Amino acid sequence: MDKEVVGKRSSGIASHIYPKRLPQMKAGPITDEMGFTLSERLALRQAWNLIRPFERRYGGDIFYGFLNDVYWGINKFKDNGKLNMKALHTHALRFFHFIGLLIEEKDPVVFQLMINENNLTHSRCKVGSDYIVNLADALVDYVLQVFHEISSPTLERGFRKIVEKLMSSTDQQPINTS
């Protein structure tokens, strides 16, 4: 009987001290609305601050190298049979800048809208989403190779999550090689 009285007293006192139940503690890293941990976000932003001054050069290296591997992709930049170098260079810079904008974006809705709009634009140009994901993979591999001295598993996980987000939002359209 004494235990029942003690239990009732403590719950009565606790209800005055703590009007709400304490939330359960979660063990492990806490993720934001987009699925990134705080350390992944920080690593991505810090790395991008180092990369940003070299956006033009790195974007060109990645894009042109990728187009050499996927030779048919260069045909998308031809006007009347001639290679449009301005469009090719502009696209390389915009691609790299787009990844930077994804890294900086904090709102999950805007983040998803950016990815969806990018996929929609490319599908209108008959560029399959597999191509976009493969190009993003090439960017991640390139950046991790160039910055191998400051690279970390956290940074790599952050970049891979961006690629996963691009992959999960794809239209599953096959690559058109014509």
Is 38 in contact with 30 (CB distance < 8 Å)? Answer: yes
Other CB atoms within 10 Å distance of the CB of residue 115: 22
Cut 0.75: pTM above it: no
pLDDT at 160 over 70: yes
pLDDT at 139 over 60: yes
pLDDT at 114 over 70: yes
pLDDT at 32 over 90: no
Read off the pLDDT of residues 55-98 as tens digits, 9 standing for 90 and up: 888 888 888 888 777 766 677 777 888 888 888 888 888 888 99
pLDDT at 117 over 70: yes
Distance separating alpha carbons of residues 138 and 116, to the nearest angstrom: 20
Is 156 in contact with 164 (CB distance < 8 Å)? Answer: no
Q: Picking from 30-39, 102-111, 148-157, 166-175, which range would have the lowest pLDDT averaged per residue?
A: 166-175
| Cα 65-55-105 angle, rounded to 5 deg | 115
State the pLDDT at residue 176: 45
Interacting residues of 60 by C-beta distance below 8 A, sequence separation 6+: 89, 92, 93
**Domains of the chain from N-terminus onward:** 37-161 (1.10.490.10)
**Strand ranges for 52-157 from DSSP E:** 78-79, 82-83
Distance separating alpha carbons of residues 76 and 93, to the nearest angstrom: 16
pLDDT at 175 over 50: no
Which one, of 73, 16, 41, lies nearest residue 157 by Cα? Answer: 41
Would you place residue 40 in the very low, low, confident or very high pLDDT band (cuts 50, 70, 90)?
very high
Higher pLDDT, 45 or 139: 45
